[in-house]
Amino acid sequence: MLLGKDDDTVQVRVRGGGLVQRALLEVVESVRKLRAEHVLLDGELVVLDEAGQADFDAACARLRSALGPPVQVFVFDLLAVHGEDLRGRPLVERKQALARVLGRGDVTLRPVHVHDGDPTAMVESVKELGLEGVVAKYAGAPYQGGRTSLWRKVILRRPEKGWRVEEQRTWRTR
Protein backbone atom coordinates (compact mmCIF):
# COMPACT_ATOMS: atom_id res chain seq x y z
CA MET A 1 0.00 0.00 0.00
CA LEU A 2 1.02 3.62 -0.49
CA LEU A 3 0.85 6.03 2.43
CA GLY A 4 0.90 9.69 1.57
CA LYS A 5 1.01 12.80 3.71
CA ASP A 6 0.76 16.40 2.58
CA ASP A 7 0.69 18.67 5.64
CA ASP A 8 -2.25 17.29 7.68
CA THR A 9 -3.89 15.41 4.80
CA VAL A 10 -3.18 11.66 4.79
CA GLN A 11 -4.17 9.18 2.10
CA VAL A 12 -3.82 5.41 2.23
CA ARG A 13 -4.10 3.55 -1.07
CA VAL A 14 -4.16 -0.16 -1.85
CA ARG A 15 -2.43 -1.67 -4.88
CA GLY A 16 -5.44 -1.13 -7.14
CA GLY A 17 -5.52 2.57 -6.25
CA GLY A 18 -8.53 2.58 -3.92
CA LEU A 19 -8.52 4.83 -0.88
CA VAL A 20 -8.87 2.98 2.45
CA GLN A 21 -7.90 5.53 5.10
CA ARG A 22 -11.42 5.52 6.64
CA ALA A 23 -10.92 1.88 7.67
CA LEU A 24 -7.34 2.36 8.88
CA LEU A 25 -7.56 5.21 11.35
CA GLU A 26 -4.52 4.02 13.34
CA VAL A 27 -2.41 4.12 10.17
CA VAL A 28 -3.64 7.62 9.32
CA GLU A 29 -2.76 8.84 12.82
CA SER A 30 0.75 7.32 12.69
CA VAL A 31 1.46 8.86 9.28
CA ARG A 32 0.09 12.21 10.45
CA LYS A 33 2.57 12.19 13.38
CA LEU A 34 5.62 11.87 11.11
CA ARG A 35 7.85 14.95 11.26
CA ALA A 36 7.99 15.31 7.48
CA GLU A 37 5.28 17.62 6.10
CA HIS A 38 5.27 15.75 2.79
CA VAL A 39 6.03 12.04 2.56
CA LEU A 40 5.14 9.05 0.37
CA LEU A 41 5.79 5.56 1.76
CA ASP A 42 5.42 2.06 0.29
CA GLY A 43 4.59 -0.80 2.62
CA GLU A 44 2.63 -3.95 3.37
CA LEU A 45 -0.47 -4.03 5.58
CA VAL A 46 -0.43 -6.89 8.09
CA VAL A 47 -2.63 -8.18 10.89
CA LEU A 48 -0.74 -10.50 13.21
CA ASP A 49 -2.49 -13.35 14.99
CA GLU A 50 -1.80 -14.51 18.57
CA ALA A 51 1.21 -16.53 17.37
CA GLY A 52 2.70 -13.53 15.58
CA GLN A 53 1.87 -14.90 12.14
CA ALA A 54 0.34 -12.77 9.38
CA ASP A 55 -3.41 -13.28 9.00
CA PHE A 56 -4.25 -12.40 5.39
CA ASP A 57 -8.03 -12.73 5.82
CA ALA A 58 -8.03 -10.43 8.86
CA ALA A 59 -5.97 -7.84 6.95
CA CYS A 60 -8.45 -7.93 4.06
CA ALA A 61 -11.35 -7.52 6.49
CA ARG A 62 -9.70 -4.45 8.04
CA LEU A 63 -9.58 -2.78 4.63
CA ARG A 64 -13.38 -2.75 4.75
CA SER A 65 -13.95 -1.79 8.39
CA ALA A 66 -12.32 0.31 11.10
CA LEU A 67 -13.46 -2.38 13.55
CA GLY A 68 -11.33 -5.41 14.17
CA PRO A 69 -7.81 -6.31 15.20
CA PRO A 70 -5.06 -3.69 15.05
CA VAL A 71 -3.04 -3.44 11.86
CA GLN A 72 0.60 -2.76 11.23
CA VAL A 73 2.22 -1.47 8.07
CA PHE A 74 5.69 -2.81 7.40
CA VAL A 75 7.23 0.12 5.51
CA PHE A 76 9.93 -0.90 3.08
CA ASP A 77 10.45 2.13 0.86
CA LEU A 78 10.36 5.92 0.80
CA LEU A 79 9.31 7.39 -2.54
CA ALA A 80 9.24 11.09 -1.70
CA VAL A 81 10.00 13.37 1.22
CA HIS A 82 9.79 17.15 1.67
CA GLY A 83 8.64 17.49 -1.95
CA GLU A 84 11.64 15.60 -3.36
CA ASP A 85 10.99 12.57 -5.59
CA LEU A 86 13.36 9.78 -4.48
CA ARG A 87 12.19 7.06 -6.88
CA GLY A 88 15.22 7.41 -9.16
CA ARG A 89 17.67 7.04 -6.28
CA PRO A 90 19.25 3.68 -5.39
CA LEU A 91 17.38 1.55 -2.85
CA VAL A 92 20.20 1.89 -0.33
CA GLU A 93 19.82 5.71 -0.34
CA ARG A 94 16.04 5.50 -0.02
CA LYS A 95 16.42 3.11 2.94
CA GLN A 96 18.74 5.58 4.67
CA ALA A 97 16.23 8.38 4.13
CA LEU A 98 13.43 6.10 5.34
CA ALA A 99 15.34 5.46 8.57
CA ARG A 100 15.56 9.21 9.14
CA VAL A 101 11.83 9.68 8.52
CA LEU A 102 10.54 6.69 10.54
CA GLY A 103 13.24 6.26 13.14
CA ARG A 104 12.35 3.15 15.10
CA GLY A 105 8.75 3.44 13.96
CA ASP A 106 5.80 2.91 16.27
CA VAL A 107 3.28 0.18 17.01
CA THR A 108 1.59 0.78 13.62
CA LEU A 109 4.36 1.90 11.23
CA ARG A 110 7.21 -0.62 11.32
CA PRO A 111 10.34 -0.07 9.22
CA VAL A 112 11.65 -3.07 7.29
CA HIS A 113 15.36 -3.28 7.94
CA VAL A 114 18.06 -4.14 5.45
CA HIS A 115 20.09 -7.31 5.80
CA ASP A 116 23.25 -7.02 3.78
CA GLY A 117 25.45 -9.99 2.95
CA ASP A 118 24.99 -13.74 3.11
CA PRO A 119 21.27 -14.50 3.57
CA THR A 120 21.78 -17.96 5.09
CA ALA A 121 21.32 -16.88 8.73
CA MET A 122 18.29 -14.79 7.85
CA VAL A 123 16.64 -17.66 5.95
CA GLU A 124 17.28 -19.93 8.93
CA SER A 125 15.60 -17.38 11.21
CA VAL A 126 12.62 -17.22 8.85
CA LYS A 127 12.34 -21.01 9.05
CA GLU A 128 12.57 -21.00 12.87
CA LEU A 129 9.83 -18.40 13.10
CA GLY A 130 7.62 -20.29 10.64
CA LEU A 131 7.34 -17.30 8.32
CA GLU A 132 6.43 -17.49 4.64
CA GLY A 133 9.68 -16.36 3.05
CA VAL A 134 11.93 -13.46 2.20
CA VAL A 135 12.18 -10.76 -0.45
CA ALA A 136 15.57 -9.81 -1.86
CA LYS A 137 16.10 -6.52 -3.70
CA TYR A 138 19.02 -5.11 -5.64
CA ALA A 139 20.61 -2.38 -3.45
CA GLY A 140 21.38 -0.09 -6.38
CA ALA A 141 17.91 -0.27 -7.92
CA PRO A 142 15.66 2.73 -8.49
CA TYR A 143 12.06 2.37 -7.30
CA GLN A 144 9.73 0.54 -9.64
CA GLY A 145 6.16 -0.14 -8.58
CA GLY A 146 4.87 -3.68 -8.98
CA ARG A 147 6.85 -6.82 -9.63
CA THR A 148 10.15 -6.35 -11.39
CA SER A 149 13.34 -8.23 -12.22
CA LEU A 150 15.10 -6.15 -9.54
CA TRP A 151 13.71 -8.22 -6.69
CA ARG A 152 13.06 -11.86 -5.86
CA LYS A 153 10.57 -13.45 -3.56
CA VAL A 154 11.70 -16.74 -2.05
CA ILE A 155 8.78 -18.65 -0.58
CA LEU A 156 9.59 -21.29 2.00
CA ARG A 157 7.29 -24.21 2.79
CA ARG A 158 7.55 -26.67 5.62
CA PRO A 159 6.90 -30.24 4.51
CA GLU A 160 6.61 -32.87 7.23
CA LYS A 161 10.35 -33.59 7.25
CA GLY A 162 12.06 -30.23 7.02
CA TRP A 163 12.02 -27.05 5.01
CA ARG A 164 12.46 -26.59 1.29
CA VAL A 165 12.23 -23.74 -1.15
CA GLU A 166 8.98 -24.29 -2.97
CA GLU A 167 9.14 -21.41 -5.36
CA GLN A 168 11.77 -18.95 -6.42
CA ARG A 169 10.63 -16.59 -9.10
CA THR A 170 12.04 -13.53 -10.73
CA TRP A 171 9.46 -11.17 -12.14
CA ARG A 172 10.22 -9.15 -15.23
CA THR A 173 8.98 -5.66 -16.00
CA ARG A 174 6.64 -5.38 -18.97
In tens, the pLDDT along 41-51 reads: 999 999 999 88
For residue 113, what pLDDT is reported? 79
Distance, CA of 121 to CA of 134 (rounded, Å): 12
Q: What ranges do the domains of the chain cover?
A: 1-114, 115-174
Q: Is the pLDDT of residue 171 over 50?
A: no
Distance, CA of 44 to CA of 130 (rounded, Å): 19
pTM of the model: 0.83
Q: Is the pLDDT of residue 20 over 80?
A: yes
Specify the CATH superfamily of domain 1-114. DNA ligase/mRNA capping enzyme (3.30.470.30)
For residue 104, what pLDDT is reported? 87
In tens, the pLDDT along 85-131 reads: 999 999 999 999 999 999 988 999 999 877 777 778 878 887 787 77
